[in-house]
């Protein structure tokens, strides 16, 4: 069964993951994916499937995250860690420009090299694919493209994973961004473990994915396995206890700029910026210049930034958002309202990271109903 096409479904065994990894390495990709470091779940270079968090699960809630052992040997039996995939396409620190003084008194300007290895992203969830699609709109589809982002997005291979379990912080089902993947991948895996076998139902999502699968030992998928995979994804959706209603969100937020809920959340918010830093779609940044001690060389850097800091809103004459509530209101209103005006999409994909990594457990799925005058019991 070598002539595979987009949408075809085949079956791999758990042992075949190593072969898949080897093929990607032979094709010049550097594999990156979830792995455990210092007790946390991070995204980093993988030396092979053994580096995946096999046998571990995540337990995430607003203000809380921990890893715990599973009762099986699932490779993808966890959900999301703190880091998102955007760091590989939109790096946290990026040198843009070097300037050197010449002996004749002039200046020499040179753009920094931005070469990067083509990446194979292993274990990308549906909400994260949706987040990459949002970043594509920001950096690729407007009148100006970000050349660094465009180059990094050009050469990559994505192995997505359908979620078969949900954390308590997940609310992707209410936004239509998960838990099942629909587009934006080369191969999509659904992990199925039973008493007899440890299998992956693989969906081909691109010609590149079909070419890779043609080099792997695989067998046609059978209907019972397909149905089991669909049931697992549906169960993950049904198990989500949080939801975000998108009904008239822009008008709700624009019309309630002075709602007392902003005072309430402002009194709790630490303005640490964790929610924006872990968000897979936030793209705010600042520019910094660094000069050597002799004043002969300088570099310009682009660094991630967050709208929760006082300095972020500084313009000539002072800062325009001086209170914690005004900065949180700016973040949430931009993400759930102004993004629709600017980019035609929400800036939220329901991953739940902003809830999990908030030190005081601020939960936007509770803040929005509060503004609507509703109460939510969690």
Question: Do 142 and 336 touch, CB atoms closer than 8 A?
Answer: no
Domain total of the chain: 2
Note whether 215 and 76 are same-domain residues: yes
Same domain, 203 and 341: no
Distance, in Å, from the CA atom of 280 to the CA atom of 81, rounded to the nearest integer, reads 11
- pLDDT tens, position by position, 258-267: 999 999 999 9
User: pLDDT band at residue 347, thresholds of 50, 70 and 90?
Assistant: very high
Residue 297 resides in a domain: no
Residue 103 clears pLDDT 80, i.e. is over it: no
Please tell me the distance from the alpha carbon of residue 234 to that of residue 287, in angstroms, as a whole number. 44
Q: Average the pLDDT over 40-69 and give the result.
A: 96
Three-state secondary-structure class, residue 328? helix
Round to whole Å and give the CA distance between 210 and 213.
Answer: 5
> Has residue 104 been placed in a domain?
no
Which range marks the domain in which residue 56 is found? 9-97+110-238
| pLDDT on residue 343 | 93
Question: Which of 22-26, 112-116, 162-166, 326-330 is the least confident region?
Answer: 112-116
* Mean per-residue pLDDT, 304-333: 93
Q: Is the pLDDT of residue 376 over 80?
A: no
Q: How confident is the model at residue 117 (pLDDT cuts 50, 70, 90)?
A: confident
Q: What pLDDT does 142 receive?
A: 82
Residue with structure tokens 């946390």? Answer: 40
pLDDT more than 70, % of the chain: 98
Is residue 296 in a domain?
no
Q: Residue 1: inside a domain, yes or no? A: no
pLDDT of 2: 58
Q: What is the pLDDT of residues 179-236, one digit of tens each?
A: 999 999 999 999 999 888 999 999 999 999 999 999 998 899 999 999 999 999 999 9
Residue 355 has pLDDT above 70, yes or no: yes
Question: Backbone dihedral region of 188: left (phi > 0), alpha (psi from -120 to 50 degrees) or beta?
Answer: beta
Tokens of 124: 């990308």
Assess whether 61 and 25 both reside in one domain.
Answer: yes
Q: Between the CA of residue 292 and those of 93, 106, 356, what are the distances in Å?
A: 19, 17, 40
Whether the CB-CB separation of 17 and 75 falls below 8 Å is answered with yes
Q: Using pLDDT thresholds of 50, 70 and 90, give the confidence band for residue 101.
A: confident
Spatial separation of the C-alpha atoms in residues 288 and 317, rounded to whole Å = 20
Q: Is residue 337 part of a domain?
A: yes
Same domain, 230 and 317: no
Whether residues 159 and 269 share a domain: the answer is no
- Residues 253 and 220 placed together within one structural domain of the fold: no
The answer to whether residue 377 sits within a structural domain is: no
Cβ 40 vs Cβ 61: under 8 Å: no
Residue 172 pLDDT > 50: yes
**Whole-angstrom distance, CA of residue 86 vs CA of residue 92:** 9
pLDDT at 377 over 60: no
Contact 66, 167 (CB under 8 A): no
Q: Is the peptide bond preceding residue 64 cis, with omega within 30 degrees of 0?
A: no
Q: What was the pLDDT predicted at 155?
A: 84
Place 102 in a pLDDT band, splitting at 50, 70 and 90.
confident
Question: Is 343 found in the same domain as 256?
Answer: yes
Examine the domain organization and report whether 187 and 279 are in the same domain. Answer: no
- Regarding whether 178 and 269 lie in a shared domain, the answer is no
Burial class of residue 209 in the structure, from the number of CB atoms within 10 Å of its CB (0-12 exposed, 13-18 middle, 19+ buried): buried
Of all helices (H) and strands (E), which one includes residue 124? strand 119-124
Residues with Cβ < 8 Å from 340, sequence gap 6 or more?
249, 250, 346
Residues 226 and 330 in one domain: no
Within a domain: 292: no
Residue 224 lies inside a defined structural domain of this protein = yes
Residues 348 and 214 reside in one and the same domain: no
Residues 115 and 226 in one domain: yes
pLDDT exceeds 50 at position 1: no
């Amino acid at each position: 069964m070598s002539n595979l096409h987009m949408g075809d479904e085949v079956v791999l065994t758990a042992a075949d993951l190593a072969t898949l990894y080897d093929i990607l390495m032979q094709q010049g990709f550097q594999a990156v994916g979830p792995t455990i470091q210092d007790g946390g779940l991070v995204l980093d270079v993988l030396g092979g499937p053994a580096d995946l968090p096999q046998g571990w699960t995540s337990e995430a809630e607003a203000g809380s995250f921990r890893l715990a052992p599973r009762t099986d040997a699932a490779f993808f039996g966890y959900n999301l860690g703190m880091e998102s995939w955007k760091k590989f396409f939109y790096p946290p620190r990026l040198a843009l420009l070097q300037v050197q003084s010449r002996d004749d008194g002039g200046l020499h300007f040179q753009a920094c090299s931005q070469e990067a290895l083509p990446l194979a992203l292993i274990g990308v969830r549906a909400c994260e694919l949706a987040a990459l699609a949002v970043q594509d709109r920001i950096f690729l589809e407007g009148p100006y493209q970000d050349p660094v982002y465009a180059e990094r997005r050009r050469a990559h291979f994505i192995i997505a994973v359908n979620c078969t379990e949900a954390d308590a912080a997940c609310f992707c089902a209410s936004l239509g961004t998960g838990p099942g993947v629909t587009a934006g991948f080369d191969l999509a895996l659904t992990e199925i473990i039973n008493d007899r076998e440890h299998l992956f139902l693989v969906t081909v999502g691109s010609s590149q994915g079909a070419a890779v699968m043609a080099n792997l030992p695989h067998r046609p998928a059978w209907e019972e396995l397909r149905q089991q995979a669909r049931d697992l994804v549906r169960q993950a959706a049904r198990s989500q206890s949080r939801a975000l209603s998108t009904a008239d969100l822009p008008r709700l937020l624009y019309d309630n700029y002075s709602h007392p809920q902003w005072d309430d959340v402002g009194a709790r918010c630490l303005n640490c910026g964790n929610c924006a830093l872990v968000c897979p779609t936030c793209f705010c940044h600042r520019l910094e210049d660094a000069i050597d001690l002799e004043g002969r060389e300088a570099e310009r850097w682009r660094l991630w930034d967050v709208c929760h800091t006082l300095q972020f809103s500084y313009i000539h004459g002072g800062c325009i958002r001086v209170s914690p509530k005004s900065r949180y209101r700016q973040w949430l209103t931009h993400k759930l309202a102004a993004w629709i005006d600017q980019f035609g999409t929400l800036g939220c994909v329901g991953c739940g990271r902003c809830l999990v990594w908030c030190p005081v457990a601020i939960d936007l799925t509770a803040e929005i109903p509060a503004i609507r005058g509703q109460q939510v019991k969690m």
